């Protein structure tokens, strides 16, 4: 397997890391680095043009196309790229079929049931998901100067799709597993951690210089349930990545009430949504973590002066301390004007630079 | 207009208040009072039998039926009743048409637009919503011993339905109003506060002994947007109710990151969801408020021992301090077994009584 450029795989002590990677390690940076969740997506005309010709899964499974999409946000001036893929791809490797229905989101068939955990196939991620690693290699060759973030879903969030058969409002079936079938739940979490570890390690081997774990729906859980049924498995996943030497970002939404439980997670960076002040979130998770966030994605639809005010508010919460990575609190919405996204990149860089008059 | 029994309308200093009302004023109670949001609803066979014969809006608009539904949870042993109605009823009085579509929830037509705010009709709530007040009177006559909670939607949450035309995921149109049409937003909020004040005062005149303001979707907002566009109007509504002398409950979900902003709200009680530890929530809103919550509604679907453990966890967070009203973090789910609900009432009463061995 061709090895990627290794220049950016230096240990945290090395200097001259790109700003995004330096910020992951809470090292000072010349400006606050910026990237956006779903920065390559439906809000971009170039992406929509590709989607007119290819299905969503087709775009992800064809490395040439997936790399092309991953690279699109370069023109916006972002400080990191993120692999174009989906957190549900590994479920296909576990024998579920994934569709995306217009207006309904992902659908997984058949729904996973407790009796089937032990019969899930043992997955060779290279065989089942090799196209993802090939995409990573191509992106690194095309944009060797820009850090590339790999990613995967966290075990709870991925399991919720498999168990509910898609998105969910109340997570009745998923919580039902926890409450009624705690052993099957534990077995499922362990299986997902193992597959996800293989999957992320292979992304890192292919050249990913950081990884983000999306626990997007952890906010559905009470702190007690999170601590009992979910956190041990998140921690196992994070610890399993320790030896790779790349920074780990743990992202979730709706978790303002869970943040103190993230204090001892082995992640360099905690990503938070816009429903909590960034400063309070940083205090709650502990200053030993870097923090990522947290502009409301809807703010990108606001008039320029309102948008600027909201960006300023996020930067003010971060107080210019080393270890802030600017991002949205969740993905860019399809309704967004790309010019607004480019404006935020430029504005954050300018306002956070020491050369800025009042930055 | 017939006046209700006034025995329970005594000022907070009076003793022998029913436990629910005493807890609203943070007075000691012989046990922790309990009620449930949506305690009269689809999970009850009696309710489903009525729904086979009547439409949802029909049940609400016919005082005999609405009172009958309101009273159903008496058999569960709850410490308070809540009016059977919907937060969207006042929007009909403002000229919007409300439907409930199976599986889709409420639909409002036509969607409210900024240019129409000034042309909204001036509403006489007695004319438009008299059936609600008649329901309140009948419930008080039927169950004079059990406190009755009236309610209304908070201006942001009600506006979001009117502007989006129903439920929403991202609140793009609603936030768009705030950002692009701040004056029309302000005018709409003021109009909704005025109508809601009239509506709640008439419920109180008819006999409601407490009121809950449902700001169910406030959790979609960043702290900055909540403080700027929403909180002043919530506070105006709460202050407008001051002279009525009944306790005010301000309820929201997904607002763990907003709780410090609730400290100075003029509400006797703050209701919180299950996504935050009750003790931390109480600290965040301040001990001068009573606190209501916060069992995960899905816990009612758990095996009895898991349910008991989760109830214990909520009670442990409250530490037996005066001013805790036990409730769910949101409404009872239709999938719930009524026996589980009755169990929680009995269990909370028993575990929180000083006579309990380890309560």
Q: Specify the DSSP element, H or E, that contains B57.
A: helix B56-61
First-to-last C-alpha distance (Å) of chain A:
45
pLDDT of residue A89: 95
Place A103 in a pLDDT band, splitting at 50, 70 and 90.
confident
From the list A8, A26, A38, A229, the catalytic residue is: A38
State yes or no: ipTM above 0.90: yes
* Residue B138 · residue B68 · CB < 8 Å: no
Find the residue in B nearest to A169 (Cα): B169
Q: CA nearest B261: which of B199, B309, B219, B312?
A: B219
What tens digit of pLDDT does each residue of A282-341 get? Answer: 999 999 999 999 999 999 999 999 999 999 999 999 999 999 999 999 999 999 999 999
User: Which candidate from A175, A254, A299 shows the least CB-CB separation from B254?
Assistant: A254
A277 with B223: Cβ contact below 8 A = yes
DSSP B171-206: -HHHHHHHHH-HHHHHHHHHHHHHHHHHHHHHHHHH
pLDDT of residue A123: 86
* Residue B270 · residue B262 · CB < 8 Å: yes
> How close is the nearest chain B Cα to the Cα of A264, in Å?
18
B296 with A260: Cβ contact below 8 A = no
Distance CA A338, CA A335 (A): 9
Average confidence (pLDDT) over A235-263: 98
Q: Which of residues 173-202 of B touch A (CB under 8 A)?
A: 175-176, 179-180
* Residue A68 · residue A81 · CB < 8 Å: no
pLDDT of A268 over the 70 cut: yes
pLDDT of residue A284: 98
* Residue B347 · residue B299 · CB < 8 Å: no
Q: Specify the DSSP element, H or E, that contains A252.
A: strand A248-252
Q: Considering only CB atoms, which chain A residues are within 8 Å of B217?
A: none
Place A3 in a pLDDT band, splitting at 50, 70 and 90.
very low
pLDDT of residue A202: 98
pLDDT of residue A93: 87
CB pairs < 8 Å spanning A and B:
108
Best to test chain B binding among A38, A43, A105, A179 (most B CBs inside 10 Å): A179
Distance CA B3, CA B203 (A): 12
pLDDT of residue B4: 43
Mean pLDDT lowest for which of A5-9, A50-54, A196-200, B80-84?
A: A5-9
pLDDT of A4 over the 50 cut: no
Q: Domain coordinates of chain A in residue numbers?
A: 7-352
Q: Which residues are CB-contacts of B258 (< 8 A; sequence separation ≥ 6)?
A: A275, B218, B219, B221, B223, B226, B252
A172 with B280: Cβ contact below 8 A = no
Distance CA B304, CA B347 (A): 11
Distance CA A172, CA B130 (A): 38
> How close is the nearest chain A Cα to the Cα of B263, in Å?
16
Is B297 an 8 Å CB contact of chain A? yes
| Phi, psi at B98, each rounded to 5° | -110, 125
Is B167 an 8 Å CB contact of chain A? no
pLDDT of A9 over the 70 cut: no
Q: Considering only CB atoms, which chain A residues are within 8 Å of B298?
A: 170-172, 175-176
pLDDT of A6 over the 70 cut: no
Is A296 an 8 Å CB contact of chain B? yes
* Residue B77 · residue B83 · CB < 8 Å: no
Q: Give average pLDDT by consecutive 10-residue segment, chain B, 359 residues.
A: 43 73 97 98 97 96 98 98 97 92 89 94 93 98 98 98 96 98 98 97 98 98 98 98 98 98 98 98 98 98 98 97 98 98 98 69
- Which one is the CATH code of B7-352: 3.20.20.210, 3.30.750.24, 3.30.450.20, 2.40.50.140? 3.20.20.210
């Amino acid at each position: 397997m061709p090895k990627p450029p290794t220049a950016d795989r230096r240990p945290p002590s090395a200097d001259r890391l790109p700003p995004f990677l330096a910020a992951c390690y809470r090292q000072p940076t010349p400006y606050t680095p910026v990237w956006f969740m779903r920065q390559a997506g439906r809000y971009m005309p170039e992406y929509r043009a590709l989607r007119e010709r290819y299905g969503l899964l087709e775009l992800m499974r064809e490395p040439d196309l997936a790399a092309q999409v991953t690279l699109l946000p370069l023109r916006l001036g972002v400080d990191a790229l993120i692999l174009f893929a989906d957190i549900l791809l590994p479920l296909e490797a576990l024998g579920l079929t994934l569709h995306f229905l217009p207006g309904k989101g992902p659908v997984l068939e058949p729904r996973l049931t407790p009796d089937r955990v032990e019969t899930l196939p043992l997955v060779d991620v290279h065989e089942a998901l090799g196209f993802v690693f090939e995409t990573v290699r191509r992106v690194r060759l095309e944009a060797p100067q820009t850090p590339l973030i790999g990613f995967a879903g966290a075990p709870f969030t991925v399991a919720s799709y498999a168990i509910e058969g898609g998105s969910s409002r109340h997570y009745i079936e998923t919580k039902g597993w926890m409450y009624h079938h705690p052993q099957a739940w534990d077995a499922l979490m362990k299986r997902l951690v193992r597959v996800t570890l293989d999957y992320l390690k292979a992304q890192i081997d292919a050249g990913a210089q950081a990884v983000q774990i999306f626990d997007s729906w952890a906010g559905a859980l009470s702190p007690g349930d999170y601590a009992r049924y979910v956190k041990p498995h998140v921690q196992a996943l994070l610890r399993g990545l320790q030896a790779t030497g790349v920074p780990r970002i743990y992202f979730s939404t709706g978790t303002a009430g869970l943040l103190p439980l993230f204090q001892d997670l082995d992640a360099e960076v905690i990503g938070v949504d816009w429903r909590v002040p960034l400063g309070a979130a940083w205090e709650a998770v502990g200053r030993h973590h870097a923090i990522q966030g947290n502009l409301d994605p809807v703010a990108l639809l606001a008039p320029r002066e309102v948008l600027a005010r909201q960006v300023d508010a996020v930067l003010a919460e971060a107080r210019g301390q080393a270890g802030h990575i600017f991002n949205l609190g969740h993905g860019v919405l399809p309704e967004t004007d790309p010019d607004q996204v480019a404006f935020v990149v430029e504005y954050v860089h300018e306002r956070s630079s020491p050369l800025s008059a009042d930055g």
